[in-house]
Structure formats: C-alpha cells, structure tokens
Chains A and B, each alone.
Chain A
Amino acid sequence: MSLAIGLPAPREGLRRRLSDVLVRRRGLLLLLMLVPPLLWLGVVYLGSLFVFLAQSIFSIDEFSGTIVREPTLATLAELFSPANFDILLRTVAISAVVTLLCAVIGFPVAHYAARHAGPRAKAGFYLAVMMPLWSSYLVKVYGWKLLLAKEGAIGWFASHLGLGGALAWWLDLPVVGGPSLSVSYTGMVLVFTYLWLPFMILPVQAALERVPGSLIEAAGDLGASPGVAFRSVILPLAMPGVVAGAIFTFSLTLGDYIVPQIIGTSALVLGQAVYTLQGTAGNIPLAAAFSLVPILVMALFLTLAKKMGAFDAL
C-alpha cells in the first residue's frame, strides 16, 4: 500500500469498510454467498428427497393400505420380483438406446457447427438447435403422435414410396414392433431421441469448439490422416461433451412417464410405475424404492462423468 501514497485517498465510509471486510475475509464472503442457495437446495430440496426416499424402508399394510412405519427390507426386495425387475431392465435399456442414438445423430451436427460452419452458418445451426429445444415438450410429443399414427404421415409416405412392406416387416419384429408405430418401442425411442437431441448437441459442440485448431494441425503435420486425427485427437477431447450430454439424455429418459403413456406399448416403464404407485395405488414405500434405482444409476453415471471431466463441458 506504500505505493499508493501519491494517489488521492480512497473513499471512506460504511460501504468501503464493508467492502474491505469482504475482500479481506474471503471465508465470510463465501459463506454469505453460499447460505441462500444452500438453504433452498441443501435443506428444503435435499430434505424432502430424503424424507421421500427414506420411506423405502417402510412397507405397506396390504389390508388397510396404510404405511407401516417399521424398518424392513421387504419393500426393497420387491424390486427384484420378476415383474418389477423387468420394468427396471426395460427402462435402463430404453435410456441406453436413446442416449446412443442421440450421440450418433447429434455428433455430426455438433461437429459441423463447431468446426466447419462460418459465423453465419453457426448462428443458423445454433438457432436450429435451440428452436426445437424451446418448443413445448408436449407439443413435440404431439407432433410425433401426428407422424406415427397409423393414418399419419410416416405411414402415408412409406406406402407411397413403396416402403410399406419394409414398415410392416419392422412392425412385425418381436421387440421393436407393434400394431402401429405409435404403440411400439420404436416409436417411443424415436420420440425420446428427438426430444433430448438438443441436450446432446449443445455440450458436444461446446467441447468441440474448445479443441484448439493447432492440435489438429499438429496431428496432420505429424502424418495423421484426417480420419486418424479425428479418432485420436478430436474424439477423445469431445468425449467429456458427449458424457455431459448423456447425463441429460439418460436421466431425462429414465424418469419420464409422459411419453410412454402417450406413445408406447402397454408394458410399464419406471416413471409410469412410480406415478401409479404414488397415485392410484397409494404405495409410497414401493414408489420410493423404485425411485432409488434411477438415483443409484445416475450416481454411478455422475461419478464416471466427473472422472472424465464432463462437468467442465456443461
């Protein structure tokens, strides 16, 4: 501070003193900033999550339908009954397929926008990705209902392009098929992929934009063909972005109960099971037990993501 002797004296006053306290005592500033959000997320949100999930160690009285508040593992064990375990496997499988499809469809879009598009095209890409993201979730589901319905556009185009046979063949397949696209796993996966695709494109694009051009030039100078440079330089550096996107696509699919209700088979997925259990069935303990599954799956996922540095790409 001795250097400042020749300068005009700093303004004095309450504000200045407060400022000095905040600057000098970093811990206090940090505390003041953290307390309000922590009160909400740490106390209210985490608290209500805990209260809800803790009920998974209670059980339900089968005759009266009331919750028996005695610790038991019976409710958690119910998850492994064949019918319930099927629901879990089905949901995780659907989420995995959706995530994979989002990555495959989204990567070229993100790659083109990040590395090949000029400023104008980039603006166009950004808006083209943001527009569907901003449009209402239900409207998008509805749009697909229009397309997938038996009398709808996909069926019409398929039969007029001579692909009616291919569509019928696909619908005859055991797992992915069904009476029509709008009541099949194919339809459900398509709609999920469509809904969450922007959530994949944006982080991947952000990760790709951060790859320095000099790295790719260096790879080329060292003799790597564009393909090799892509595989050994661009792809590994884009992976955190893909994982960040996968957090969204996977988690959003795991918990959704509206799409399967509108487009999909009669077989339940996790979200629908939880919804019915907490609502009409009134079985909060089993609903809580079911809810633990996506949380454990996402905890595993997030731990892996953190290791890969995915949070910096969000």
Chain B
Amino acid sequence: MTRPSLALKIAALGGLAFLHVPLGFILLYCFTTEERSYAFPPPGFTLKWFGVVWGRADIWAAVGLSLQVACLATAIALVLGTLAAGALARARFFGREPVSLLFVLPIALPGIVTGIALRQAFGLMDMPFSFWTIVLGHATFCIVVVYNNAVARLRRLSPSLIEASMDLGADAFQTFRLVILPNVGTALLAGGMLAFALSFDEVIVTTFTAGQQSTLPIWMLSELIRPRQRPVTNVVAVLVIAVTFLPILAAYYLTREGEAVAGSGK
C-alpha cells in the first residue's frame, strides 16, 4: 500500500460522489410537498407519502411478485450456473471454447434481443405469459452471473486439494461436500446475490416475457411514463435501497472471509 496522490484521491472520491448524489436526491424528494413537478428546491416537506405507500395494494403485489421471481430465478441459476462452472473450470475438451462463450452470451447480448427471442419462442411453444415465463426469462441471464463467480473461484482452487482429499480416502461426494463446497460457497453466495439483484431489477426482458402481471420494475416504468404521485415512486425507491443494503453488507463480509480461506489453499 502506497500513498495516493492528491489528484487520484479527488478523482476517486469524485467518482463515488457521482454514484451517490442522484440517490441522495431521490431521498430528498420523498419528503417534498410538490407532486407534479421536479421543482428544486422542494417547496415544503412532509411525511405523508410514506403513509400513502403503505396503503397502496398495487405496490405490495408488485413487490411480492418480484421477490418470488427473483428467488426462483436465482435458485435455477445457482444450480445450472454451478454445474456449468464445474464442468468448464478446468476440463479441456473439444468444443470447450464455444460452450464457455455460450455461458456469457445472455449478458453479452442486448436484453431486448433476448427478450424478443424468448417472447417469440414462448409464442411458438404455445406457452401463455405467466409467472413462469418471467422466471425462465430471468434465469437465462442469472445463470451467467453465477457461472462467472463460480468459475473464477474454481480456477483459483488448487486441484491438489481435491487430489489430497481423494488420496485420504474421501469419495467424490465427500470431496465435493467437504473440500469443494466450503471453498466455493462464498463465491456462490456472492453470485447468487448478484443474480437476485439482477432479477429483482430487470425490466427489459420482463416487458417481453410478462403478461398482465407487473413486477416492481414494471410498476415503476409505468409510473415513470405516466406519473401519478411522483413522491410515491421516491418512497418505494428508498425502501428498496434500504432493504437491499443489509444483504450486500452480509455478502461482502462472507466473501471476504472466503478469500482468505481460498488464499491459504494456494
């Protein structure tokens, strides 16, 4: 660790400020008494929007749907992404390159292409748009995040650890449970959280794969295009930020301890 120059310090803090100032303004506008324009500074302050949000059933329905979709999509992504990462982390076989490219494709391609393609495929398969089509759409790109996290950790996991475990008499399942899983567990957790966040937030693919149901992002999009009570959107936004802050904190501390374990294995 060396001493940073003043310019670097300012640039780094400036970058962070850039990331946070708009969020601060969202918080500020939660309390504004003005509901039709974005006038700055707000003409007055009130707490009534929190009460309004509490009473709005449409918001809670959207939150519930988003949570369910994100949980299921993350669960599917965790299973499929981990399998893919396990197969591709070290093995060398014919066609490995195109297959590993395939596993980053859903993120590398624009969401709108994925969205329309899936929409048409669901149409061809005569699948009505439902909760499940939303989940399938989300799982497609969530796999990528889990895969990326798991594959990076698996590559750093020394193969001699696995060999040692086998030499000491553990079978493949014991090795997986006692050696591999503890080493990649935190990476999976981090990947899962990222997948959850992506799904909870996704709007582009969802507009194509959702029927009449609205997830929280879809609800927000409709509020953005046809605003009714602008501060209500602010309150919802702040609640979402507040609710997601704790899992990030937890994920961070879990991954950090995991890094130390993985490092000692090298």
- Chain A residues close to B by CB (< 8 Å): 4, 7, 10-11, 15-16, 18-20, 22-23, 26-27, 29-30, 33-34, 36-38, 40-42, 44-49, 51-53, 105-106, 108-109, 111-113, 115-116, 118, 123, 125-147, 149, 151-153, 155-156, 194, 197-198, 201, 247-248, 251-252, 254-258, 261-262, 271, 274-275, 278, 284, 287, 291, 294-295, 298, 302, 311-312, 314
Contacts and interface: CB of A to CB of B under 8 A. Distances in A.
Interface residues of B, number: 93
Interface in B154-191: 155, 166, 169, 171-173
A34 B99 contact: yes
A20 B16 contact: no
B113 A37 contact: no
Given A116-B8, A131-B241, A255 B111 contact: yes
A143 B26 contact: yes
Contacts of A111: 8, 12
Contacts of A147: 21-22, 25
Contact of A142 (B101, B166, B169, B237): B237
A40 B114 CA distance: 13
B169 A10 contact: yes
Contacts of A257: 112, 204
A12 to B, nearest CB: 11
Contacts of B109: 49, 251, 255, 294-295, 298
Interface string B122-162: 00100000000000000110010001100010010000000
B2 A115 contact: yes
B240 A136 contact: yes
A151 B237 contact: no
A108 B8 contact: yes
Contact of A258 (B14, B102, B221): B221
B52 interface: no
A144 to B, nearest CB: 6
22 contacts: A37-B84, A40-B139, A48-B117, A48-B121, A49-B114, A51-B117, A127-B248, A135-B240, A136-B200, A140-B22, A143-B22, A146-B40, A147-B22, A152-B40, A251-B107, A255-B109, A256-B112, A298-B108, A302-B104, A302-B108, A311-B100, A314-B148
Contacts of A254: 110
B119 to A, nearest CB: 8
A287 B110 CA distance: 13
Contacts of A201: 15
B213 to A, nearest CB: 17
Contacts of B171: 10-11, 15-16, 19-20, 23
B84 A33 contact: yes
Contact of B169 (A7, A23, A38, A112): A7
B31 interface: no
A153 B4 CA distance: 33
A312 B100 CA distance: 12
Contact of A109 (B15, B80, B91, B248): B15
A134 B245 CA distance: 8
Nearest to B24: A143
B121 A51 contact: yes
B152 A251 contact: no
B220 interface: yes
B252 to A, nearest CB: 6
Nearest to B149: A314
Given A33-B86, A136-B240, A258-B204, A295 B113 contact: yes
Contact of B224 (A15, A42, A135, A141): A141
Contact of B91 (A26, A118, A143, A314): A26
B169 A123 contact: no
Given A15-B171, A41-B140, A113-B12, A127 B83 contact: no
A141 B221 CA distance: 10
